[in-house]
């Protein structure tokens, strides 16, 4: 029964690699350079308290561009929006312990450059996570043969690639423990959309990374419920939930072919999968009624 129930996991696993690009970098056709890295988490050595990594920066521009690498701290607010933050006075000064080489460099047309970074975490850290970004800021565009350091680049680059990751320092074998605090659903007849209001929590010692879908079915007293559609959680293809930090997700999801629901009783079954091992992480169910018009 459980094997049949999770056949859909094999299809979802094919999307895992695609979902990884949500956080590591941003890319647009108008950008003159892009990043090649998908490391969402990096473990610090328990002996040295140091984590390290590298990012390949490549150019698709016809001109040389000068880049400056700026470390930034980030967190997710309850709505899952990435916001920048500064460490409190009693917190470990992570920004002062991030070293980037090179910090500023010129990227030649059609070429790539490897940027290395080292992060030293607090030696007192037992179970700690340190989210940070490396922000690749363009300082100037240079002609192939003539350097012009004061050229304005704001109209050339619409999107600036950003490398986003989390360094973690753990003792033992930490695991996430995802749970659902609240799960409500409904239907907007005018918009022809199913609504979801979901709050996730993580009582574990490691941040959770989950993804999944919601299975919509129509309830029937005489027959088995009829599955109508598999709805995708928009803007939440990869959901990150940090320990003891609730994460709220509000979605409006349209049915295939934008079809409308008839009057009746409906059931929405939520299935979230652990992105690390593709095992079921959490399930829940809610019901809603579409009244007769």
The tens digit of pLDDT for each residue in 31-59 reads 577 787 656 678 888 788 898 888 888 88
Q: Is 17 a member of any domain?
A: no
28 and 88 inside one domain: yes
Which residue in 69, 71, 59 sits closest to 35, CA to CA?
59
Share of the chain above pLDDT 90, in %: 22
End-to-end CA distance of the chain: 38
Range of the domain at 34: 23-169
181 and 43 inside one domain: no
- The domain boundary residue, chosen from 122, 151, 169: 169
- State the pairing for strand pair 41-43/162-169: parallel
29 and 147 inside one domain: yes
279 and 161 inside one domain: no
HSE-up of residue 141 (Cα within 13 Å, Cβ side): 17
Q: Is 9 a member of any domain?
A: no
Q: Is 257 a member of any domain?
A: yes
**For the chain, how many structural domains are there in total?**
2
Judged by DSSP in three states, 150 sits in coil
Measured at the alpha carbon of residue 186, what is the angle toward residues 183 and 188, in degrees to the nearest 5? 145
Instruction: Compute the distance between CA of residue 240 and CA of residue 178 in angstroms, rounded to an integer.
Output: 10
Write down the mean pLDDT value for the chain.
Answer: 77
129 and 58 inside one domain: yes
Q: pLDDT of 158-207, one tens digit each?
A: 456 788 888 878 776 778 899 999 999 999 988 999 999 999 999 988 88
147 and 192 inside one domain: no
163 and 256 inside one domain: no
Instruction: Compute the distance between CA of residue 75 and CA of residue 80 in angstroms, rounded to an integer.
Output: 9
What pTM was computed for the model?
0.61
Whether 288 shows a pLDDT value over 90: the answer reads yes
164 and 184 inside one domain: no
Q: Is 7 a member of any domain?
A: no
Residues 6+ away with beta carbon under 8 Å from 145: none
- The domain boundary residue, chosen from 169, 203, 232: 169
153 and 216 inside one domain: no
- Residue keyed to tokens 């990869």: 238
162 and 34 inside one domain: yes
149 and 257 inside one domain: no
Beta carbons of 281 and 204 less than 8 angstroms apart? no
CATH of the domain at 162: 2.60.40.10
67 and 203 inside one domain: no
- The domain boundary residue, chosen from 103, 135, 169: 169
Q: Is 11 a member of any domain?
A: no
Whether 259 shows a pLDDT value over 50: the answer reads yes
Instruction: Compute the distance between CA of residue 249 and CA of residue 7 in angstroms, rounded to an integer.
Output: 25
């Amino acid at each position: 029964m459980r094997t049949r129930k999770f056949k859909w996991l094999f299809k979802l696993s094919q999307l895992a690699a695609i979902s990884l690009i949500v956080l590591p970098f941003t890319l647009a056709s108008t950008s003159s350079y892009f990043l090649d890295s998908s490391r969402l988490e990096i473990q610090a050595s328990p002996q040295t308290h140091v984590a390290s990594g590298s990012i390949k920066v490549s150019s698709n521009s016809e001109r040389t561009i000068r880049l400056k690498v700026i470390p930034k701290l980030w967190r997710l607010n309850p709505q899952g929006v990435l916001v920048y933050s500064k460490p409190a006075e009693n917190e470990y000064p992570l920004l002062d312990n991030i070293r980037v080489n090179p910090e500023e460099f010129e990227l030649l047309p059609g070429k790539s450059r490897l940027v290395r970074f080292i992060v030293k975490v607090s030696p007192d850290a037992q179970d700690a996570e340190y989210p940070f970004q490396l922000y690749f800021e363009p300082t100037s565009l240079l002609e192939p043969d003539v350097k012009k350091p004061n050229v304005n680049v704001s109209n050339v680059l619409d999107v600036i690639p950003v490398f986003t990751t989390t360094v973690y320092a753990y003792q033992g074998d930490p695991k996430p423990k995802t749970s659902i605090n609240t799960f409500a659903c409904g239907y907007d007849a005018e918009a022809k959309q199913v609504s979801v209001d979901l709050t996730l929590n993580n009582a574990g010692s490691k941040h959770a990374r989950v993804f999944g879908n919601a299975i919509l079915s129509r309830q029937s007293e005489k027959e088995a419920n009829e599955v109508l559609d598999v709805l995708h959680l928009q803007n939440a293809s990869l959901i990150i939930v940090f320990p003891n930090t609730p994460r709220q997700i509000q979605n409006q999801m349209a049915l295939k072919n934008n079809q409308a629901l008839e009057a009746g009783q409906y059931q929405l079954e939520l299935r979230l999968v652990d992105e690390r091992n593709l095992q079921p992480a959490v399930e829940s169910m809610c019901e809603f009624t579409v009244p007769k018009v």
